[in-house]
Chain A
Amino acid sequence: MRYSDEHIDQFIAGRLSSEDEANFKRAVDSNEELLLRLTERTVRLYGQQKLRSKLRDIDNDLEGGSPNRD
């Protein structure tokens, strides 16, 4: 079975049913390509988290009213 990117996201977000989740985990164990996609998706989500955190810092700076920094 070819898992979609959406399916991988649903697994990471804990949105699969117990049965689907168990099947997905077994598939990761036996499918090198799926393991690579799951790994790369994890890195991308981490990259997003870092960027989101940077944007929140920008917001905090604005809220803090750092005067005329530009």
Chain B
Amino acid sequence: MQVASKSIYKPDRVLIRAIKIGGIPENDALKQLYKQNLTPVTSFVLKNSGSEIDAKEMLQEAIITLYENIKSGQFEAKAKLSTYLFSVAKNKWYSQLKRKEIPTESPVDKNTPNNGFTILDQESIQRNEWVIGLMNHLKNDCKEILIYSIYQKYSMSEIAEMMNFKNEQIARNKKSKCLGYFKKIVLDYTKANQQIL
């Protein structure tokens, strides 16, 4: 027997706004986008030589692309979000299939799309090791301010409010200090690896 309590999805403009705001509204928006788009993306990937796991990865990567475009102000709502996500997931899956045909011993593929880095195993592992190995040197407040500023593109006044700083200048100083420290870590890490070569 069917239950009549089918959830009502929020409209696209509300989701976009929620992602811009961040916090709990953002989490709810991500949840809706995931639930709403999982079935069509899964159908497509299954019909095109993929698995359910592949489908989930493609949807996750598509949502990440959407998220970054919204955060950076580059997203233009020309189509429905579901259409956009399906299209990005589809292109990523085709790109994945294409890349899987390339022998691993081949030289650097100059034609790899800039946003094409998704799963491909060894590269993902290498990338994760790089990122985690470096970010682990930062205290949580530094991680937070760098992500807010560099990844989520919040303004310094927004960051000051989110992190309970007295004013924008304090946020600016904190970011500058954390970024300077992190640059030194990246440089040291790179140099250390250079000596090994």
A contact set with B: CB distance below 8 Å: 5-6, 9-10, 12-18, 20-22, 25-26, 28-29, 35-36, 38-40, 42-52, 54-56, 58-59, 61-62, 68, 70
Contacts and interface: CB of A to CB of B under 8 A. Distances in A.
Chain B residues touching A, range: 35 or more
A50 B114 contact: no
A6 B131 contact: no
Interface SS of chain A:
helix
Given A25-B194, A55-B60, A13 B127 contact: yes
Contact of A22 (B27, B67, B123, B194): B194
Contact of B197 (A21, A46, A47): A21
Contacts of A15: 108, 123
6 contacts: A14-B127, A18-B197, A39-B186, A42-B186, A47-B147, A49-B132
B49 interface: no
B81 interface: no
Contacts of A43: 135, 146-147, 150-151, 182
Contact of B182 (A9, A12, A39, A58): A39
